[in-house]
Amino acid sequence: MQEFMATSERRAELYWWFSTLFAAELSDAQIAEYDTYDVRSFLKSLSTLDPMREAVAELNEAIARLLVREERATALAADFNALFLSPKAVQPYESAHGDNTARSRMEQRLSRLAIDVSEKYQQPVDHLAIELDLMGNLIIRAAEATTAALREKWLGEQEGLLHGHLLAWFEPFEQACRAADPFGFYGASARLLGVFLKMDANYLSLVKPAKSAD
């Protein structure tokens, strides 16, 4: 059980970190954190996982360029706006990638779980950052479950969100993001997230070999 708790905390931390990357522009203070021992150690730990090694290396290269970039916060904010907010943006919404029921299904899911995201996010509920944030919360609910049945329920909710939403649309978003990001920070971040989502799906299949909940 201790191993499950530790893994859950690690998984939630990763989902929330990725959510922050795609939710809004990073401030200069947030960018500066990428030059700290904690973040370097965090990324180094990810690179010990074989499937993540190359993606982490690419992100580290992008971070190195970012840290010495002139007016880095302003420049990265311009990248963010061009990628995700401009008229020709790579839409970070599930419904923009072929599923016109995604938004209503996410609204129903959040309502069923009694989760209100309106105070934290201004975006529609099928935004990538919201789906990632929700995964983090579901992981913690499973970790804090007081019975095996509750833990099973929250693991099922994770499977439903991962397979019914995130994995269903993330690959075309990742490809479009990488193609449209000449500087490479967000493209590299999307690549690493794509690897992580597939690894996490495999983890869930081992921890809970059951049908997805939706």
Whole-number Å distance between alpha carbons of 137 and 154: 10
Instruction: State the amino acid at position 158 in one-letter form.
Output: Q
| Closest C-alpha to 18, from 189, 191, 183 | 189
Give the pLDDT score at 75: 98
pLDDT tens-digit series, residues 187-213: 999 999 999 999 999 999 998 744 444
What gap in Å lies between CA 130 and CA 159, rounded to an integer? 16
Own/partner pairs for 83-87, CB < 8 Å, 24+ apart?
Answer: 83/177, 83/180, 83/181, 83/186, 84/22
For residue 213, the model assigns a pLDDT of 45
* Predicted pLDDT at 101: 94
What pLDDT, on the 0 to 100 scale, is given for residue 203? 95
**Model's pTM, two decimal places?**
0.94
> Which amino acid is residue 135, in one-letter code?
M
pLDDT of residue 169: 96
- Contact between 93 and 124 under an 8 Å Cβ cutoff? The reply is yes
Give the chain's residues under pLDDT 50.
209-213
Which residue's entry shows tokens 């500087």? 183
Alpha helices, DSSP H only, in 51-163?
Answer: 53-67, 72-84, 102-112, 128-143, 148-161
